[in-house]
Structure 1
Amino acid sequence: LHCLVMEKIDGLTLEEWLGQNNQLITEAQAIDWLKQLIVILKEIHPKYLHRDIKPDNIMVRPNGQLVLIDFGAVKQLTQKYIIQQITSQNTSIGTLGYMPPEMMNEQEAYPQSDFFSLGRTFVRLLSGKHPSDFTQDLQTQQLFWRNEATHISERLLNLIDFLMEPDWKNRPKNTQEILLSMIDLLMEIINDNHNYYNKILRIRRVKHSNYNFIKSGVLIFSIVLNLFLIGLLIKVDYPRHVVVLLMFVVLSILFISLVFPLEFPLFIKRVYKLLLSRKI
């Protein structure tokens, strides 16, 4: 008696995840999941082809780790990667919408066949629609799906389309090529973010320099006015003396707040506490 023992996985399939969350995955999530699945294929492809990659055959654990399941269609790689044609009417390999042209038309499969199914899987995850719901170019067989994934950058869309090239020879040669493409993608994203934050910092510097200029002008004005008020205190009599003194106090507070912007609020807070405790 021969059997295949498989680990019980806690979690949801990606198809179930879509239904339960009722939302599309983000670009960051797509990059993370794509990386995980490519690493899994990197371990499988030296010896086997999965031949039925789709959201129903990928599970996500509670910690976010992906697991590729249902190896019932797995075929051991031969030198020419030839698939034995299935003669039974009740038996099929692959799933419509996710199955590459070479498996449908020629009953042949290659490592690139799994890449095609993986690309179609991300069409489902990024658009929310089944790949069969989209039309194709009659000549090139390219899938028209990008308008349903407008929240995704063109770079990632290009990589997904690269995985789904109709001719398997035009797809990535191996998992290493895909991982290198993803590294380039991440570097471009990091560079774009760096340029964006540099732009924000430049704007903030301009605003900060303008603020410093205004603050310096107000500070000079308050000093000059305080000197003027000190001169008035000597010349004026009561009750004008009180008015001038109050103006002097107000301008002095303004002066202190400009010179010591961080310490001044703490000073006011301490004075307020002292007043409440009736110590002064």
Structure 2
Amino acid sequence: MDRETLISKWLDNNLNPVELEAFKQLEDYDDLVKLNQNLQHFEADDFNTSEALNNVLSAIKTKKPAPKNQWLKPFLRVAAILAVCFSLYYYTTTLNTTIETAFAEKTTIELPDNSSVSLNAKSVLEYNKSRWNTNREVSLQGEAFFKVAKGSSFSVNTSQGVVTVYGTQFNVKQRNNYFEVICYEGLVGVTHNAKETKLKPGDSFLIIDGKSIAKEKENRPTPSWLNNESSFKSMPYKTVLTEFERQYNVHIKLINIDDNQRFTGSFTHNNLEVALKSITLPLHLTYTKQNQTITLKRE
């Protein structure tokens, strides 16, 4: 059975079990269900339903009256199908796909052109699948590692800057007052405050609290967080702690500690006790735990 017939029978609640399974296999099944749920709140920009209905009713009145109610059901059915088809086209071409990770969660997705994106904890990625062939563009909140398939320009939009590439591997991290891009392969352009900086493999672009920070050459082939480890080189301690909170879904309190002091080291993502020792022993700190709250203290 073709797609249009399945949709029509679905609108009439007239699918048998076999047809229902076939309908669920449609590529845009999820979009159709969402559209059906929200259709009563949807209004296309240039389509006035009331005016169209009045025009049809006026035309009908000029003709010989049909038997009572004989025309109403077919008319409503056709009107509903036309409204759904029109709305579906508009809705699916403007609807964005959003992927979000929670605390202590990572995920990897494949984009329509076979580019891949790995999302770190507490991150959000958004893109438009319908327009992808003409507009390879994503929006990012958080941190992600990209492996971009060769092709047209590929852009990553963040609140602090835009990253543009043509086929490469790179990492983007955008958090509060923190923006970092590391190129692992190819050539990356980073636009920040209307100025573009080109990055070659191993180069980094880092802005903390609005200030540009110089970094050593990156020697790793991929970001450490892909291997469940967060690494830092002379980073403010508060940056380390906020990443720790994201990876373990905890809240950290400080007593007599300067969170702007610099920290060099790393912590694992899969062992809380080991991770705590990694971020406290180098600074001679002690810690206590109570439920999801961890208190760090300098004696």
Would the TM-score normalized by the shorter structure come out above 0.5?
A: no
Higher relative contact order (CA 8 A, sep 6+): 1
Bigger strand share: 2
- Bigger radius of gyration: 1
TM-score interval (norm. to shorter) = under 0.3
Flag the structure with higher helix content: 1
